[in-house]
Amino acid sequence: MRASLLSFGILAGGVAFAAWAGGLYPVTAQVPMPRAPGFVRDAGGADRSVTVLRPILAQASSAPQQSAPRSQGEGLWGAATNFIVIPNCRLTTTTKEDVPSQRDGVLDFIGVELKEGEQPRPGEEVYEVKVDNTTKHYRLLKEGDRVEAGQLLAQVDDTLARADAAIKQAKLEAARADKDASDKTRDEAEQRYYTQQKLYNNNVRGSTSLEDLRGAKLTWDKYKSEAISKQEAIKVSQQELHQALKIVEMHQIKSKISGIVKIIYKHCGEAVRNAGPQDPVLQIQNFDVLHAEGMMDVQYLSAVKKGDTVIVEPTVREGARQTFSGHRLEITGVAVSKDPRKPLIVSSSDDGTIMVWQRSSGLPIRVLNNRSPVKAVACTPPGSDANLCLSGDLDGNARIWDLDSSEEKPIRELKDAHKGPIRCVAFSLDGKLCATGGEDSYIKLWDTATGSLLYRIPGESGAPGHRSSVTSLHFTPQGELISASTDKTVRFWKLSSVNAEEIETLQRRSIDVPQLGVSLDGKHVIDEQGAKEMRVLSWPGLRTEEILENTSQSSGFKTVALFSPDGRLLLTSSGTDGVLQLWRLDKRRSNELRLLVPGMRSEATCAAFSPDGSFVVGGIKDRKVYVWPTPTKEEIDRQILAKVINVEPLLEGVDNKVRIVAELANPADRPLVSGDLVTLVAIPER
């Protein structure tokens, strides 16, 4: 088997189109953290920084096996199988503003306008602010508030400025009154001049003289000039009023950009001064557009150019939506009941209890006392008639509990099932059979309805089987049982009514992941290949279809690796902080999609998907059970595109790398976080 797997790995890279048409998937590898930013994974080649990934395809069989439904959307991938992967690219904001005060003084308020119908929170102070002769209501501005460009955010005490503006307004009115009087005086002088002119021209003796005529003309000219002066005085008053109003407006503090309030430096009642960005009132950052900046190997400088479109692969952190606390010791197992409408979460612990939880309540609805530390738990699948729970404990006993009953005792006890602790339990897809695996290296098959032992694996004949503790069990629709063990093997058993025949053995490189998953359709299994690599293998055939490489954690894969019910996601754990990783499986390229973060940091011990795949349950050593939602189909299939805006033809450091920057629109429904790391994936031209 080792030889066959080795020859399969060497086969990567040169397979005919018929193999692709047969439904075989390419290997999709991410970059190991120590080799950031990127690596090349080529058949038989050494790892190199920033890599073109090539598919590893197995030889096409006459009847290729199909996996559970996977994402078939091509998007930007098209038919590409070669990718340039640039990991550890940091997201940065493109725009930020330190908003200053334009006037010296004391802050009257710092707030945001209450929208129509919006009510302040209880105890929250509300300010009345007069803006353009309209009174508006403002609440206290907080860090994290969204603001728009030009929105009033704060105001410096403008009492003196408003008084000065009122004086300037009065001066303008006085100037206009003077202008009206001047216009009337000018018009009267004009009429008097024309009267004198008419009398003089009619030669009426004694009516007027030339000196009187010239005097009337002089008076008219004087008042015309005076009217012009008064008009200019109005303009001066208008400019003075405009200046005064502008000074009043400068007491208002507004942002020039839209964005999120990052920092508030000054608060109501504090002094501010007109010192520009050196003494800001608050800082606003715009996250609508982000830059992803990373380092790329210089040999790909000709393949990735300015203006190219690349894929952005973020890993979104998802906090637990629910936390269940009740166990006194470490959580050892979790499972979810079969009813998707009212799923029950079952958890087991070293404290000797099994707790049954409803998602609508923070308290257990039932506490089942097992008396001995419980090491494993499983629920009947949706295809079964009964709603049961199977547990295995430290003393080697297995018990079946009715989840629909209010009884606190098991309905059946599988006593003396094993000599030593039971490490794993499982139900068949129809719930009629159940299996237990123990530290005694045996697997035992039971009739669920009667609790009677059908047979053990290996049987009494002494046929070979596991040589060490059995750590995971999975029934398949094909009538098979797949088991993993600390003896570094995964064994495949064909079940009958009287015995089990071993039909295949997979040798493993390590036992860091004792809880290995099998897809619901029984056609794919998981195998970890060292600390950083996880492989999806087809069954039968054990052909490598996908490779996942752990880039987001400093340590390797540990404890658990499980398929989602639809086969599109893979759940893994790594490190000691309890963070679970959710991977998107795709026939062209897979990637880390979510980091499921618990409320407290402690090593993960167990995990499970709900039967409908809508949520994930995880147990960790801190004695708590956490629940996270899984991404929607749209979130799984979505591609975030970015445009390369700069590729610097300048080597940096000793690693022969060049700086690359791509610009992207931040998704509004699931915004990315500035400062986080993403992976850029480019498709080189053929």
Q: What is the mean pLDDT of residues 186-215?
A: 87
| H or E stretch covering 624 | strand 624-629
Mean pLDDT of 459-487: 91
pLDDT tens digit sequence for 119-177: 877 877 787 877 767 888 888 899 989 999 999 999 999 999 999 999 999 999 999 99
- Averaged pLDDT score across all residues of the chain: 84
| 423-454: pLDDT as tens digits | 999 999 999 999 999 999 999 999 999 999 99
In the predicted model, what is the mean pLDDT of residues 27-35? 33
Does 657 fall in a domain? no
| Domain tally, the chain | 4
Within this chain, do residues 246 and 205 fall inside the same structural domain, yes or no? yes
Asked whether residue 269 is domain-assigned, the answer is: yes
Residues 193 and 294 in one domain: no
The HSE-up count of residue 438 (CA atoms within 13 Å, CB side) is 25
Q: What is the mean pLDDT of residues 610-614?
A: 95
3-state helix, strand, coil in the chain (%, to 5): 15, 40, 45
Q: At 59, is the pLDDT very low, low, confident or very high (cuts 50, 70, 90)?
A: very low
**Is the pLDDT reported for residue 27 higher than 80?**
no
- Residue 39 carries which side chain, given as an amino acid letter? F
| More confident call, 585 vs 61 | 585
Domain boundary among 507, 531, 563: 507
pLDDT (tens digit, 9 = 90+) per residue, 566-588? 999 999 998 778 899 999 998 77
Domain that holds residue 219: 160-250
- Residue 2 clears pLDDT 80, i.e. is over it: no
Residues 488 and 413 in one domain: yes
CA–CA dist 220, 214 (Å, integer):
10
Nearest CA to 319 among 550, 580, 564? Answer: 580
Residues 66-83 have pLDDT tens digits of: 333 334 444 455 555 688
Q: Mean pLDDT throughout 481-491?
A: 96
Mean pLDDT of 346-366: 93
pLDDT of residue 16: 33
What sign does the dihedral 563-564-570-575 (CA atoms) show? negative
Q: At 475, which CATH number?
A: 2.130.10.10
- Poorest-confidence range of 15-19, 142-146, 672-676? 15-19
Q: Give domain status of residue 144, yes or no.
A: yes
Which of these ranges, 273-282, 458-467, 644-653, has the smallest mean pLDDT?
458-467
Confidence at residue 556, expressed as pLDDT on a 0 to 100 scale: 81
Average pLDDT over residues 291-301: 92
The answer on 406 and 477 residing in a single domain is yes
484 inside domain: yes
Whether 589 has a pLDDT exceeding 90, the answer reads no
Q: Residue 13 above 70 pLDDT?
A: no
Position 79 scores a pLDDT of 52
Which pLDDT value is given to residue 109? 86
Ranges of beta strands (E only) in 409-465 are 412-414, 422-427, 433-438, 443-447, 453-457
Q: In this predicted structure, which of 475-484, 499-508, 653-662 has the lowest mean pLDDT?
A: 653-662
pTM of the entire structure? 0.72
pLDDT of residue 205: 67
Same domain, 173 and 242: yes
**Is 538 a residue whose pLDDT tops 90?**
yes
136 and 151: one domain? yes
- DSSP result, 372-399: S-EEEEEE--TT-SS-EEEEEETTS-EE
Taking residues 493-522, report their average pLDDT: 93
Residue 643 lies in a domain: no
Say which CATH number the domain at 134 has.
2.40.50
Q: Is 458 domain-assigned?
A: yes
Q: Is the pLDDT of residue 683 over 90?
A: no
Residue 62 has pLDDT above 90, yes or no: no
Tell me whether residue 532 is in a domain: no
Beta-strand pair 615-620/569-574: unpaired
Verify that 362 and 387 share a domain, yes or no. yes
9 and 85 belong to one structural domain:
yes
Quick one: pLDDT at residue 668? Answer: 85
- Is 644 part of any domain? no
CA distance 590 to 337: 29
pLDDT of 184 higher than 90: yes
Task: Specify the pLDDT at position 533.
Answer: 83
